[in-house]
A and B are shown apart, each in its own frame.
Chain A
Amino acid sequence: IPVLQTNNGPSLTGLTTIAAHLVKQADKEYLLGSTPEEKAVVQQWLEYRVTRVDGRSSKDDIRAVLKDLNSYLEDKVYLTGYNFTLADILLYYGLHRFIVDLTVQEKEKYLNVSRWFCHIQHCPGIRQHLSSVVFIKNRLYTNSQ
């Protein structure tokens, strides 16, 4: 569990807590959502990241996560709908280690996740040290849905 020692005040513990703090420090509060609804949705997916994606998640757990996300993202560009937020960034980071291992067939199966993931990794400054995951644009398996 990460700990951040801030310059003025007590230290902070926990990935999403620290991330939200840094976002505010960088004057990018829009990344936490702008309406009450968006703010709550962002925090919900941040919680989802640390409870469902992190930890000792089994293959089955991850498959369930991908299935749910795929269904959720069917009509959305970003996790909150139309705005890019911290939830997209942290979920992208959390899922990266699983997405790199997906087969081409699986990537097609979770088509909406793949679209979203590919989009996020190309947002400027997001990918950092992580490897770029290759997605094929034309579908190979027509029955994969």
Chain B
Amino acid sequence: MRLFVSEGAPGSLPVLAAAGRAQGRAELLVSTVGPEECVVPFLTRPRVPVLQLDSGNYLFSTSAICRYFFLLSGWEQDDLTNQWLEWEATELQPALSTALYYLVVQGKKGEDVLGPVRRALMHIDHSLSRRSSPFLAGETESLADIVLWGALYPLLQDPSYLPEELGALHSWFQTLSSQEPCQRAAETVLKQQGVLALRPYLQKQPQPCSLEGRVVSNEPEEEELATLSEEEIAVAVAAWEKGLEGLPPLRPQQNPVLPVAGERNVLITSALPYVNNVPHLGNIIGCVLSADVFARYCRLRQWNTLYLCGTDEYGTATETKALEEGLTPQEICDKYHAVHADIYRWFNISFDFFGRTTTAQQTKITQDIFQRLLARGFVLQDTVEQLRCEQCARFLADRFVEGVCPFCGYEEARGDQCDKCGKLINAIELKKPQCKVCRSCPVVRSSQHLFLDLPKLGTRVEEWLERTLPGSDWTPNARFITRSWLRDGLKPRCITRDLKWGTPVPLEGFEDKVFYVWFDATIGYLSITANYTDQWEKWWKNPEQVSLYQFMAKDNVPFHGIVFPSSALGAEDNYTLVSHLIATEYLNYEDGKFSKSRGVGVFGDMAQDTGIPADIWRFYLLYIRPEGQDSAFSWTDMLFKNNSELLNNLGNFINRAGMFVSKFFGGFVPEMLLTSDDQRLLTHVALELQHYHQLLEKVRIRDALRSILTISRHGNQYIQVNEPWKRIKGGEADRQRAGTVTGLAVNIAALLSVMLQPYMPTVSAAIQAQLQLPPPACRALPTGFLCTLPAGHQIGTVSPLFQKLENDQIESLKQRFSGGQAKASPKTAAGLTAAGPQQVQALMEDVAKQGDTVRELKAQKADKNQIAAEVAKLLDLKKQLALAEGRPLETLKGKKKK
């Protein structure tokens, strides 16, 4: 038999991967033909790959060719494989060819490409995780896996198109990609050029018909209902019938919360916010709010949970702030600690304890760890060249120096890290350093310092990570950052500073120095626990019984993933180390950057003044939680999500369900006689609940929120189709039916109120009060969907839950905060119009004039240096213009490169 392939034809991938199956059973010749060559005599349009059989017959379908190879090897056809192949041909291929066309032919990127295939990818992921089998149609790799792998490979081999939240799809894809026949097929077809190897072929193909007239939306579409088995329905109905009996026993509330042997003990920390700043929305979603959702979820699961946080108070920044405000550092800390506590209280963050780092416990524990490290030879001494500002008469902390990044040339790099290239910087290596306080140029002075000998601790950390990472829920970015640190080699890190406001160093010759935050901020978690309970060691020296979840933004990963574990392992005191490190990406503000050190964005205390309830903020921030990729806060989007998801979907459903009980049944839940349709709905809800649990157990907070909205969408459809408001006016059977529909709907509303509790605690409590949900049902979320509001249960007064956000309201807020931004930080490039039109006009003229000058000089072949100087002027003018027009600088730079 003869296989015809063509350069870059995507169908060659599965076919070549499957061809191995036929080996030894038939001779296979491979011929390469042009993309427009008609191999099959009876087909008008050219098609490759094609298999010409020895009988003379042709197979022109990629799946059929693969199937043939499998059949030759003795494989038997089965329903599940047929189903996957049919789905591949009818659903996946149209979506995929659109995505590939966008990517390869039109050069689009990101969501434009992912949008068309997202649903199909979710379907595969969902099926894999529901079957909890590593392969699509059985326990071993088979035809369906090869065909789908081959179809998806060109797109998914680029990790940016393999959404991280789709974990099951991820591991399925990796498993197949690492197998030899697949690897060989991939090399043959893509020739290590990635998806671009398909271009010569795809360019010659007609535009996929699905492109015509179909609007590609990146909003989640109404999800089609999965098909249910009898067994799934039986399980769901049995759970439902248990009612309140099905609730798990409630954990008695204790104070203090301490680990219990044999139970699931969950210790949750959120990164300690730095005290002298009011936290902005990015900080809130990045740590405290994310951790809060998880802590609330753990409590609903009746796990023994302790959630801690506190303010990080030591350091130069506090000293400086104290100088500015004419207070002592301690007074500054007291003042801002209260500001923080108020903001988190307003956002309803359910800390078991919100402490601070300026305590005696902090000194005691930090010094103890230090002494142990010192005694074990993990501390080095060295002289350090350090920047000192003569004008301010002090050594400058890293964050108080700015200059040009020695690696990428970014002009506003900080003394410890460059925001642009993300590399860590030694402050004295900065070019053109400036003191951030007085703008004068600091000088280099030397000083004795202590270093944590990370290279010596490296092996221990690596061993610990090897034990910890597999099977844990560390987010991919946390794994990646930690690994890249280890890969680049660990270096000794300085752990002392020439400051007064800090934990004193208990060593002779270091009396006027303190520990650097690198070393002692993460010890804050321990000291805060020690201030909460004197039995703190039960949590922190108990790695066997405690699961430690630490929440943070990704810039904090090295401290939690490498530095603190190094100190703790070196101290050899059986410390509890992080089991699951949950790091978010960055949240941007509108289209600009949202950054603490630059003062751009909406801040915690301002959120309170907008008149928008805390729960709406929580909902929207969690809905856009930067999980897996950066995301952006947008006022318009917030309005849209509030009005569509909360008001029209969730609020509408819960309110209708409650209203029907009040209006039609006098406030008493009616008798429910479930038909098979009702049982199916119940099963769908139960499966979605299961999905919610799976996601939250893996701390996929944003995705689990989608499950809540999906259930209420099912609920709305159910009410819409069954029209209880009409049936209630009908005969006995119709009234009976109206009762069942209303009863089931109000029970779904009750379930939603509990699922919503981690996300929107106030709204959740409001729903539960309206429905008079029995208290045990409010406090526990079992894995099955139970009937918690049985027939005859009396509900309370039902009222609307959400308010519409109006356009003018949002526009004025947008205005208000963009003005505040401009004032706070006139030199940011955060998409604000800082200049009037006249100024812009003048700058444009200058740019044009300077452009002419440069062109003239170039035409005259003038001196190189002279040209360079004029070009520099031109670039500077362009930059000013960009700022004046409110364009972000990044785009300008991008253009320059092209």
Contact = CB atoms under 8 A, between A and B. Distances in A.
Interface of A: 1, 3, 5, 7, 9-17, 20-21, 32, 36-37, 39-41, 43-44, 46-48, 50-51, 64, 67-68, 71-72, 74, 81
A10 B229 contact: yes
A41 B85 contact: no
29 contacts: A5-B228, A9-B229, A11-B227, A13-B87, A14-B82, A14-B87, A15-B86, A16-B82, A16-B86, A17-B83, A17-B86, A20-B82, A37-B57, A39-B67, A40-B67, A40-B68, A41-B57, A43-B64, A43-B67, A44-B59, A44-B63, A46-B86, A47-B89, A51-B89, A51-B90, A64-B45, A68-B42, A68-B44, A81-B57
Interface string B55-82: 1010111011101100110000101001
B384 interface: no
Given A40-B65, A44-B64, A64-B45, A11 B228 contact: yes
A17 B227 CA distance: 14
B133 to A, nearest CB: 13
Nearest to B76: A39
Contacts of B43: 68, 71
B252 interface: no
Nearest to A56: B209
Contacts of B87: 13-14
Query: Which has the most chain B C-beta neighbours within 10 Å: A10, A15, A51?
Result: A10
A41 B44 contact: no
A44 B334 CA distance: 75
Given A12-B79, A41-B57, A44-B60, A50 B86 contact: yes
B488 interface: no
B53 interface: yes
Given A9-B229, A43-B77, A72-B42, 7 more contacts: A10-B227, A10-B229, A17-B79, A20-B77, A40-B68, A47-B61, A47-B86
A64 B206 CA distance: 15
Size category, B interface: 20 to 34
B40 to A, nearest CB: 9
A44 B40 CA distance: 14
Contacts of B107: none
Chain A contact surface mostly: helix
A91 B822 CA distance: 67
Nearest to B73: A36
Query: Which has the most chain B C-beta neighbours within 10 Å: A36, A47, A72?
Result: A36
Contacts of B85: 43, 47
B230 interface: yes
A143 B41 CA distance: 22
A22 to B, nearest CB: 10
B42 A32 contact: no
B83 A14 contact: yes
B67 A14 contact: no
Given A9-B229, A13-B227, A14-B90, A71 B42 contact: yes
Interface string B113-131: 0000000000000000000
Contacts of B53: 37
Query: Which has the most chain A C-beta neighbours within 10 Å: B42, B44, B45?
Result: B42
B823 to A, nearest CB: 56
Contacts of A12: 79, 83, 227
Interface of B: 41-45, 53, 55, 57, 59-61, 63-65, 67-68, 71-72, 77, 79, 82-83, 85-87, 89-90, 93, 227-230
Contact of A71 (B41, B65, B89, B229): B41
Contact of B44 (A9, A13, A64, A81): A64
Contacts of A3: 227
Contacts of A72: 42
Contacts of B60: 44
Nearest to B83: A17
A14 B71 contact: no
Contacts of B68: 36-37, 39-40
B61 A44 contact: yes
Nearest to B64: A44
A40 B89 contact: no
A81 to B, nearest CB: 8
A26 to B, nearest CB: 14
A129 B44 CA distance: 33
A46 B85 CA distance: 11
Nearest to B26: A36
Contacts of B228: 5, 11
B44 A67 contact: yes
Contacts of A44: 59-61, 63-64
A72 B60 CA distance: 12
Query: Which has the most chain A C-beta neighbours within 10 Å: B53, B64, B227, B230?
Result: B64
A77 to B, nearest CB: 14
B230 A48 contact: no
B63 A47 contact: yes
Contacts of A1: 90
Nearest to A32: B77
B525 to A, nearest CB: 47
Nearest to A67: B44
Contacts of B227: 3, 5, 10-13
Given A17-B79, A39-B77, A43-B63, A11 B229 contact: yes
B54 to A, nearest CB: 9
Contacts of A81: 57
A55 to B, nearest CB: 8
A50 B83 contact: no
Nearest to B131: A10
Contacts of A64: 44-45
A2 to B, nearest CB: 11
A59 B65 CA distance: 29
A68 B42 CA distance: 5
Contacts of B55: 37
Contact of B71 (A7, A10, A36): A36
A142 B87 CA distance: 44
Contacts of B45: 64
B353 to A, nearest CB: 49
A129 to B, nearest CB: 24
Contacts of A11: 227-229
A11 B44 CA distance: 37
Contacts of B77: 20, 32, 39, 43
Given A9-B229, A36-B68, A41 B83 contact: no
Query: Which has the most chain A C-beta neighbours within 10 Å: B42, B55, B86, B89?
Result: B86
Contacts of A13: 83, 87, 227
Given A9-B229, A11-B228, A40 B83 contact: no
Contacts of A36: 68, 71-72
Nearest to A74: B42
